[in-house]
């Protein structure tokens, strides 16, 4: 198995950082767009999709700025992260998704994120 590499996707979003952060960092927010069911306990999110459950530990977070999570089944150095930035040029809110995938799978994984983020934007009225 080849080593996974980090990749980054950027999505401009018309919404305040605080509203966006709620959708990225709370069980209720994540359940709106990311998974069928989301629970949170002791710094661990449990995500359910069609009866299958995956757990991700919160590694680090800063309100209205970012949340970094680690899938419990993944190697220690891998994570996925939602980061919120404000463009200095346009003053637009930008959602940055950082994740890991094998090089040949980055395009497919990016499409999956595109689909998920499109659902997120629909939920926040973007």
Residue 37 has pLDDT above 70, yes or no: yes
Single out the residue of 43, 66, 42, 70 nearest to residue 54, CA to CA.
Answer: 70
- Domain boundaries defined on the chain: 5-125
Please report where in the chains the tokens 């497919």 appear, as a residue: 108
Which helix or strand (DSSP H or E) is residue 29 part of?
A: helix 27-33
pLDDT above 90 as % of the chain: 90
Amino acid 27: pLDDT: 98
pLDDT above 70 as % of the chain: 98
Amino acid 90: pLDDT: 87
Backbone angles phi, psi at 83, to 5 degrees: -125, 140
Kindly provide the residue ranges of all beta strands, DSSP E only, lying in the chain, ordered along the sequence. 5-13, 37-41, 44-49, 52-62, 66-71, 80-86, 93-101
DSSP annotation of 36? S
pLDDT in tens, 82-99: 999 999 888 899 999 999
CATH number of this structure's domain 5-125, picked from the four choices 3.40.50.150, 3.40.800.10, 3.30.530.20, 1.20.1090.10: 3.30.530.20
Average of pLDDT values for 2-16? Answer: 93
Residue 1 has pLDDT above 70, yes or no: no
Q: Tell the burial category of 72 from Cβ atoms under 10 Å away from its Cβ (0-12, 13-18, 19+).
A: exposed
Residue 2 has pLDDT above 80, yes or no: no
Amino acid 125: pLDDT: 87
Average of pLDDT values for 44-60? Answer: 97
Q: What angle do CA 60, 82, 90 make, to 5 degrees?
A: 125
Average of pLDDT values for 13-37? Answer: 96
């Amino acid at each position: 198995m080849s080593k996974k590499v980090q990749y980054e996707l950027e999505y401009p979003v018309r919404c305040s950082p605080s509203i966006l952060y709620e959708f990225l960092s709370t069980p209720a927010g994540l359940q709106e767009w990311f998974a069928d069911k989301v629970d949170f306990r002791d710094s661990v999110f449990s995500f359910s999709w069609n009866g299958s459950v995956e757990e991700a530990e919160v590694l680090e977070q800063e309100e209205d700025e970012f949340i970094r999570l680690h899938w419990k089944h993944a190697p220690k150095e891998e994570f996925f992260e939602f980061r919120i930035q404000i463009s200095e040029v346009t003053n637009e809110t930008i959602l940055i998704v950082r994740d890991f995938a094998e090089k040949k799978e980055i395009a497919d994984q990016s499409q999956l994120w595109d689909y998920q983020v499109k659902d997120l934007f629909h939920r926040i009225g973007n």
